[in-house]
């Protein structure tokens, strides 16, 4: 199936979702941001990614307003901070996120990055939350192959459902080893900052390919990420216009010639590159 991703438990979600990093921070922009998220949901971009860290919970509160009345149509992702990821801390952080999100379950709950607590403790908490129905699946973020191997080595660590990492044309390191590792285990990769927070958009090759497709450079960059099976892209869009622009990337078909030109401009990794983070 094109433009969808299937989780290990069989859950099917759209490959293009919505990120919320730096959303909810400004009262002036609040209504526009809510409208943008709602527009995305209407268009079928129902994966919404947030975290307790984003705006110290303000992003989750914004998401709560945006999904009011349509909660069950949304695939909601949130994250626990590593500093909170002890057994009790993970459970407490999840309860706090549920309150801010005004929901009784989170579809996918992630450990934001590896921190001071052993994976065993965090996973035990994730499994207990799952048994109680407070989270439906659990996963991780910003984890490279070594961390994933360590995670898989512990009891029920292999029930990890996703890894959310930085991935775009300028950050292709995961293609060397992490992406194949996840694909072999049917673990979706969630790509954050798929257009490198806009820094990609002035690149001449992207601009040329965009003009041929009557598209924008952002749409080409997104279409490039979305061409990969098993990858969910979560670009942030604070306005309805921006949401529509992202949505239209789904209808762009990059030719072999386009892909070759992009490979030339943004070479694939030929060796291991440590996982990058923003």
Domains of the chain (ranges; CATH) run 13-201+231-250 (3.20.20.100)
Q: What is the pLDDT, as a whole number, of residue 15?
A: 98
> Tens-digit pLDDT profile for the chain (278 aa)?
579 999 999 999 999 999 999 888 888 899 999 999 999 999 999 999 999 998 899 999 999 999 999 999 999 999 999 999 999 999 999 999 999 999 999 999 999 999 999 999 999 999 999 999 999 999 999 999 999 999 999 999 999 999 999 999 999 999 999 999 999 999 999 999 999 988 889 999 999 999 999 999 999 999 999 999 999 999 999 999 999 999 999 999 999 999 999 999 999 999 999 999 98
Phi-psi region of 122 (alpha: psi -120 to 50; beta: other; left: phi over 0): alpha
User: 135: how many CB neighbours lie within 10 A of its CB?
Assistant: 27
What stretch of H or E contains 210?
helix 204-212
d(CA 149, CA 135): 23
**Which residue blocks in 49-109 are alpha helix, DSSP H?**
58-67, 87-101
Please check if 112 is assigned to a binding site: yes
Q: Which of 54, 105, 109, 192 is catalytic?
A: 54
Tell me whether residue 54 is one of the annotated catalytic residues: yes
Is-contact 78 110, C-beta < 8 A?
A: yes
Residue 262 confidence (pLDDT): 98
Q: In this predicted structure, what is the pLDDT of residue 192?
A: 97
CA distance 166 to 185: 19
Report the distance separating Cα 47 and Cα 107, nearest Å. 9
* pTM flag (> 0.85): yes
CB atoms within 10 A of CB 193: 24
pLDDT given for residue 190 in this prediction? 98
What are the residues facing 109 on neighbouring strands?
78, 138
């Amino acid at each position: 199936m094109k433009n969808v991703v299937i989780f290990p438990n069989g859950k099917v979600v759209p490959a293009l979702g919505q990120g919320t990093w730096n959303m909810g921070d400004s009262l002036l922009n609040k209504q526009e941001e809510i409208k943008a998220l709602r527009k995305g949901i209407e268009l079928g971009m129902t994966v919404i990614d947030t975290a307790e860290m984003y705006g110290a919970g303000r992003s989750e509160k914004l998401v709560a307003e945006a999904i009011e009345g349509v909660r069950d149509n949304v695939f909601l992702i949130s994250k626990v901070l590593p500093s909170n990821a002890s057994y009790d801390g993970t459970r407490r952080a999840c309860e706090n996120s549920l309150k801010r999100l005004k929901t009784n379950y989170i579809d996918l709950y992630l450990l934001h990055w590896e921190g001071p607590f052993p994976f065993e403790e965090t996973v035990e908490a994730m499994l207990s939350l799952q048994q109680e129905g407070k989270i439906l699946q659990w996963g991780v973020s910003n984890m490279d192959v070594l961390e994933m191997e360590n995670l898989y080595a512990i009891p029920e660590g292999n029930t990890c459902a996703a890894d959310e990492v930085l991935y775009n044309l300028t950050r292709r390191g995961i293609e060397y080893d992490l992406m194949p590792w996840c694909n072999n285990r049917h673990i979706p990769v969630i790509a954050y900052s798929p257009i490198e927070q806009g820094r990609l958009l002035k690149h001449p090759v992207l601009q040329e390919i965009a003009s041929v497709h009557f598209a924008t450079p952002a749409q080409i960059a997104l279409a490039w990420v979305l061409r990969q099976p098993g990858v969910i892209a979560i670009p942030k869009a604070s306005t309805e216009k921006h949401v529509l622009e992202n949505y239209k990337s789904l209808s762009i078909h990059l030719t072999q010639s386009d892909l070759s030109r992009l490979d030339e401009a943004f070479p694939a990794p030929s060796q291991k590159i440590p996982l990058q983070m923003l």
